Chain A
């Protein structure tokens, strides 16, 4: 295995053509991508799901959150059926409100992905900032940040997210809970997940800090901020992006889990997790599609994003486990 990697790396360096696009197309990443059918499928599935979420308002037959568009009379229409009442066609069936499950999934994954991306971004920015500070300045900042990280690492992040979620809700008046659920969720998941970024960035910063070019920059009197942003930050971004990709799958799962537990997105604004929570009630009465299709959607999303993240990690940074 490692022999192949070495051989590939050696070949890649020797035969790199000029030009940015061509460089990219000839790179190890593309080469490795082409070699693995599973990764290709995962990419296509991910892109399809992303596109579905992004263009939901144009693709979905109805807006499932607009009560005016729902036909209560069409409730519990099975999949691939045209309702005999309204004459509408329900690809994946409808739920108890007459809501089109297909539309709900498109809009639901929109929320799932929004929360996922936002939480990762939040964790990434926070973790990178703290990691840079800890690694570059050292001293008490380093000690403090890393101790907090240690304590937080003692607990699984889903538990952390639950706790943070509970605490933030405690500060807010009850009437606001539903409205700000999405922001609370983003903050809770983000706060539960910054440690990994901080650790990776701190380690990378400490390595970069002692390299000659940074020492040289210091000697010629460049201000610390400039050194940090122009020299160190670009060099620590690679591990951060790798963690971020895997973190996206984790954040999507965390959001779904919290929503499923009834402490995430409310049923008025359902994410995939909420849809599964709601669908569970109809599992026993035979309306399996209300549960199963959102479940399969989440399964495909989590699996393909995870596969992509794993692959990217292996390609970009074989040392990160």
Chain B
């Protein structure tokens, strides 16, 4: 349990009970060639109204975490170990039929591609009304009014005229607004947004993020924002969790993590973000590539690429331990026996100071 972040230091308002609490989550994919461990010992919590950003390369397990929370893992994936609690209630062991009422009502989800998230054969009004009436005791007429209100709330102009339109008649940005309306329709306490802006034009991304953030703030909805884009995290999230090879390797307040990353991988990640005020020639690159799930090395999964790696990193796997203002899974922060940093790794550091000032 030590890896559950102690809430005292990050949230002065002190919400005693987090909306979502994930403990030692392990997700496995049994295949003919052996069992792949897609998520290993992932623990974090999200407080009411908080936005937790989850970053990592593709394949790091960030989307998988979201899917596991809402129990929409692609078969044969399954939760093999750990617990997930929603508002104090354990939900990872619920049967599918018992879980269905939670989706949409308590946990909403937004997917990456608004172009494919909406059923092309049903008008958006149909899909909204259907969702509303599934969760709330509304008549057809009341549901229709709620749907109209929702559409105008997410910024669809002239909703009465668009309610009976089909998804293909909307632009990508408008569709994602509809998707947000659908996800928020029954006012869930938690929204999992899986790369909500990745498929959109850059010009629309900021609008959608601002909309999502505003609506969730108004409702006090907690958000788990999954993305590979540190810029999105910097702008939207309160805290950030960094994933690597199916493990959570660092978690902490956004500004702190950006300004002073504690895990060498996060350091490299921050250094590799292009910033306008720096020349692109010096853009940093982490050597090597993230290991495939079938070939995660023993010890710290990052050690083959880590500039500070030592013998211990190849043998022993570090758990999350206090580091800076958050926690990092790295022996550099071992309270009993911190590993020394190596010289030469400083190459990743010079422009870090500016990263948060964008």
Contact = CB atoms under 8 A, between A and B. Distances in A.
Contacts of B33: 7
Contacts of A7: 33
A4 interface: yes
Nearest to B29: A3
Contacts of B31: 3-4
B141 interface: no
Contacts of B32: 4
Interface in B1-59: 31-33
A205 B302 CA distance: 49
A41 B335 CA distance: 65
A286 B33 CA distance: 56
Chain B interface mostly helix, strand, loop or mixed?
Answer: loop
Interface string A1-26: 00110010000000000000000000
Contacts of A4: 31-32
Interface string B275-311: 0000000000000000000000000000000000000
Interface residues of B, number: 3
Interface in A160-200: none
B77 to A, nearest CB: 12
A111 B33 CA distance: 47
B165 to A, nearest CB: 34
A7 B31 CA distance: 11
A36 to B, nearest CB: 14
A150 B162 CA distance: 42
Contacts of A3: 31
Interface string A30-74: 000000000000000000000000000000000000000000000
B75 to A, nearest CB: 12
Nearest to B294: A7
Nearest to A3: B31
A7 B33 CA distance: 10
A4 B32 CA distance: 8
B91 to A, nearest CB: 29
A186 B280 CA distance: 71
A211 B269 CA distance: 41
Interface in B238-295: none
A237 to B, nearest CB: 32
A35 to B, nearest CB: 11
Interface string B153-179: 000000000000000000000000000
A29 to B, nearest CB: 19
A256 to B, nearest CB: 40
Interface string A84-114: 0000000000000000000000000000000
Nearest to A4: B32
A3 B293 CA distance: 13
B324 to A, nearest CB: 40
B71 to A, nearest CB: 22
B35 to A, nearest CB: 14
B337 to A, nearest CB: 41
B138 to A, nearest CB: 42
Nearest to A7: B33
A4 B30 CA distance: 12
B195 to A, nearest CB: 22
B207 to A, nearest CB: 37
A299 to B, nearest CB: 33
A3 B33 CA distance: 11
A7 B32 CA distance: 11
B33 to A, nearest CB: 7
B63 to A, nearest CB: 17
B187 to A, nearest CB: 39
Nearest to B31: A3
A231 B233 CA distance: 54
A253 B32 CA distance: 38
B29 to A, nearest CB: 9
Nearest to B32: A4
B38 to A, nearest CB: 13
B34 to A, nearest CB: 11
A7 B292 CA distance: 13
A3 B30 CA distance: 12
A94 to B, nearest CB: 52
A3 B76 CA distance: 12
Nearest to B33: A7
B294 to A, nearest CB: 9
B318 to A, nearest CB: 31
Nearest to A11: B33
Interface string A222-236: 000000000000000
B175 to A, nearest CB: 29
A11 to B, nearest CB: 10
A10 to B, nearest CB: 12
Interface of B: 31-33
4 contacts: A3-B31, A4-B31, A4-B32, A7-B33
Interface of A: 3-4, 7
By Cβ-Cβ distance, the 4 closest A-B pairs, closest first, are A4-B32, A7-B33, A3-B31, A4-B31
